[in-house]
Copies of this chain bind each other. A is one copy, B any other.
Amino acid sequence: MSELIHIGVDLGGTTIKMALIDDTGKMIDKWAIATDTIDNGSRIASDISASIVKKLAQLQIDRSEVSGIGMGAPGFINMTTGFVYKAVNIGWENYPLKDELESLTGIPAIIENDANLAALGEMWLGAGRGARNMVCVTLGTGVGGGIICDGEILHGVNGMAGEIGHITVLPKNGAPCNCGKKGCLETVSSATGIRRLALEALDYNDSDSILRDIFENKGDITAEDVFLCAGKNDPLSSVVAEKAAYYLGYALGAISIVINPEKIVIGGGVSRAGDTLLAPLTKYFKKFSLPRVFEACTIDVAKLGNDAGVIGGAWLAKMKIGKLRTA
């Protein structure tokens, strides 16, 4: 088997990240272009294709040396056809992304949901290195998830597998979620949810708190502020951080009983809290999983940051296209 180069593409609402990665996972080059959402994103595929073709020419890489393009996009994707059903931030609806990329570049492509792509990246070269059963949780504006069983992303029957932000953790009196339900994990353990819990605590509680000082100074607080203050043993912040960790540990306990992972990787902005999050999270995860499930699993913070998507894309190209081409 000759060495191939794998192209990873990660489409976001403002930038498109791209990378060339070799078989061993070495990053040959990475770059980004702006996402042009004008005219319902109709220029995006040609922008990406032109950028890839130009980069390959610059580096004097022939198409025959490339396995393929692994690309992540937000929204609902049909993995078989490479159709994007709907990607609201981009403007696509029933968009034939795989076909467009392939005809514009002459390189085979594979499309995956962006949260799943990041999970694959962490599995290949990040915190999940070597794990074949893994849950990847992204704690950002929402709570995203990518689940890998026996080395493969779970998609389910219509691509909804791993939407773990919408597991109900507060069946009664939960706050409304963007999905239309109430009490979803996302309402309490996302950056947005943690901010909301903290604002409620500040409103409900009169006690002195360094979090309150920040609030009075800046006029607002973030989830990062909450964990920063909890790390300094601010009681009010610690209660909020503990609450967010409790519900995340509760959901991860259930998820782990379902799929029995060896690794849980926590990514997204909130994961920067490190041990201030991981210590209570591990405690509640233990409480709500089973002893044999808990003992087989470690929880870690994601390692690849913004590169997880392009690395996952390159992995997909390597495993799903490259293996076929060199078989």
The answer to whether B253 and A290 have CB atoms under 8 Å apart is: no
Which B residue sits closest to A76, measured CB to CB?
B292
Q: Using A259-B154, A260-B157 as known contacts, say yes or no to A163 and B133 having CB atoms under 8 A apart.
A: no
Q: How many monomers of this chain does the complex have?
A: 2
Residues of B within 8 A of A201 (CB): none
Asked whether any CB of chain B lies closer than 8 Å to the CB of A297, the reply is: yes
Q: Are B293 and A167 in contact (CB under 8 A)?
A: no
Stretch from A144-152, A204-212, A214-222, A267-275 contacting the other chain: A144-152
The answer, yes or no, to whether A168 is at the interface (CB within 8 Å) is yes
CA distance A183 to B160 in the complex (A): 28
A257 within 8 A of partner (CB): yes
Other A-B pairs, 14, CB within 8 Å; known A157-B297, A181-B287: A156-B259, A156-B296, A160-B257, A160-B292, A160-B293, A161-B258, A162-B260, A164-B258, A167-B253, A167-B257, A167-B258, A168-B288, A251-B254, A254-B254
A171 at the interface (CB under 8 A from B): yes
Do B296 and A261 touch (CB < 8 A)? no
A288 to B167, CA, bound (A): 7
